[in-house]
Amino acid sequence: MPKASPSNSKKLRRQEAEALILSAAEKVFAEAGFGGATMQLIADVAGLPKANLHYYFPTKELLYRQVVQNIFEIWLQAADVFDQAEGPEEGIGAYIDAKMEISRRHPNGSKVWASEVMHGAPVIQDYLETTLTDWTNGRITVIERWISEGRMAPIDPRHLLYMLWATTQHYADFGHQIETLNGSAPLSDAQWEAAKNNIKTIILRGIGALPTA
Amino acid sequence: MPKASPSNSKKLRRQEAEALILSAAEKVFAEAGFGGATMQLIADVAGLPKANLHYYFPTKELLYRQVVQNIFEIWLQAADVFDQAEGPEEGIGAYIDAKMEISRRHPNGSKVWASEVMHGAPVIQDYLETTLTDWTNGRITVIERWISEGRMAPIDPRHLLYMLWATTQHYADFGHQIETLNGSAPLSDAQWEAAKNNIKTIILRGIGALPTA
DNA sequence: GTCTATAGGCAGATAGAC
DNA sequence: GTCTATCTGCCTATAGAC
């Protein structure tokens, strides 16, 4: 590989700077909300002058929009495991594992998403109406097939999906409350494992997808 | 009852004005977050001049704190049904009913609470450490008794409580997303009923508190 | 108690040197 | 591309007439 040409090196630096800014922005938006976050604070966290942020992201809103989009991508990827499964025990179990891993690794992203939706999705309403709607309908089809095959009880697929989202994202969005109730300590590896298994056990047994214990 | 004395009439008007402001504030804080909310907008929603808000609530932060406290009270009252029950099917079932009713009737309150916790509970951290911790420990004792009596499976009570909070509050906090996925229409009476029954069925069956269907 | 007008401060965005 | 200095506007809070 030849030495990076000036244009390549520029592009690389641009990507690096953008990633740095996006990471800082995700943290600040999660902790302060869109209205409470300031470009100055994001710049301080990123270790850059404030004007640089405006160079890469013209407005605060565009920066925010990019943060939300990035989260949405990660969010959707967790869905892959759902479809590759033979039945609900494997598919829903793996989906819970994947969503819990995201809650643990990307709690700030989850919080920004939650905040955006709670405020009426002013920035990503189009995503809700297109991509998320399509994704949801696809998963509903899969669940209905499992039900018709007798692999699980006849549960309303839509409310089951809401339950999966709610239980897994709760560990990110309400992480501060959970840590406080844990003696102001982060959950240990074992506690995360227990949380995951607890959700899987109750839901899978609850929908009749586990051999009756 | 004698005609209201000046001091009584003053007090009544104070209460009415405060209630009006608190109601408007809850709505605006829920929709815009603390940082995004403005005293001007709250005043407009309440139909009062902005200066009046500062007369009754000296600072924006004090007004916000009162809103969060009010929600917390409602929240705790739903717990009463938990203790008056004989077993998990009745107790947890009634608790789910009560929490779902709050999600439906006070969605803004739930959102303000969620937002506060997501941002690290800067205003109500003391409540988390005292009242909520005590409440949680009390309910854990009840659940552990039900388990020891063989009325339900040996589930970790703490994670069960998180699941109850997550699933019920999700219908308030993510109400906008749920409505969008419902064709941009609010849930009907029947849909709320279905949601409630779905949660109760899955969780109660999942913890082994239902006669095996 | 109520309201208008305004002070004081801070945040988003940009101009322009380097 | 980077950064300092600054403009502009909005928001909290208050002074002071009524």
Taken in order of first residue, the domains within chain A and their CATH numbers are: 6-58 (1.10.10.60), 69-206 (1.10.357.10)
Taking an 8 Å cut-off on Cβ atoms, the answer to whether B36 and A119 are in contact is yes
B119 in contact with chain A, both atoms CB, cutoff 8 A: yes
Provide the 10 A C-beta neighbour count for residue A69.
Answer: 13
The dihedral sign for the CA sequence A160, A161, A164, A170: negative
- For A118, the token pair is 């709670």
- How many angstroms separate the CA of B32 from the C1' of C11? 17
Give the model's pLDDT for residue A9. Answer: 59
Low-confidence winner among A191-205, B1-15, B153-167 (lowest mean pLDDT) = B1-15
Q: Which residue has the tokens 């929009």?
A: A65
Q: Is the pLDDT of residue B211 over 80?
A: no
Residues 6+ away with beta carbon under 8 Å from B160: A198, A202, B143, B203, B207
pLDDT digits over A99-145, tens only? 999 999 999 999 999 999 999 999 999 999 999 999 999 999 999 99
B34, B165, B202 ranked by CB distance to A170: nearest: B165
Hey, are the CB atoms on B159 and A195 less than 8 Å from each other? yes
Q: Which of A120, A156, A199 is the closest to B194 by Cβ? A: A156
The reported pLDDT for the residue numbered B152 is: 98
pLDDT of residue B13: 82
**What size, in residues, is chain B?**
213
Residue B32 CB neighbour total at 10 angstroms: 20
Residue identified by tokens 């939650």 is A114
The protein residue nearest C2 (Cα–C1') is B52
Cβ A206–B208 below 8 Å, yes or no? no
CA of A42 to C1' of D8 (A): 22
Chain D positions within 7 A of any protein Cβ atom are: 1-5, 10-16
Residue B48 carries which DSSP code? S
Query: What's the confidence (pLDDT) of residue A211?
Result: 77
What pLDDT is recorded for position B10? 60
Separation of CA B34 and C1' D16 in angstroms?
30
Q: Is the pLDDT of residue B7 over 70?
A: no
Give yes or no for residue A3 having a pLDDT over 70. no
Give B107-117 pLDDT, tens digit per residue: 999 999 999 99
Q: Hey, are the CB atoms on A194 and B159 less than 8 Å from each other?
A: yes
The reply to whether A49 Cβ lies less than 7 angstroms from strand C is no
pLDDT higher than threshold 60 for residue A4: no
A12, closest nucleotide (Cα–C1'): D1
Q: Which of residues 7-36 of A touch B (CB under 8 A)?
A: 30-36
A101: how many CB neighbours lie within 10 A of its CB?
14
Residue with tokens 């995700």: A26
* A107 in B contact zone (CB under 8 Å): no
The arithmetic mean of pLDDT across residues A59-74, rounded, is 96
- Ranking B20-29, B57-66, B80-89, B185-194 by mean pLDDT, the lowest is B80-89
User: What's phi and psi for B212, nearest 5 deg?
Assistant: -55, 120
Which residue of chain A has the CA closest to B205? Answer: A206
Per-residue pLDDT at B6: 44
A184, pLDDT greater than 60 = yes
Q: What average pLDDT score do residues B74-89 get?
A: 92
Q: Are B106 and B74 in contact (CB under 8 A)?
A: yes
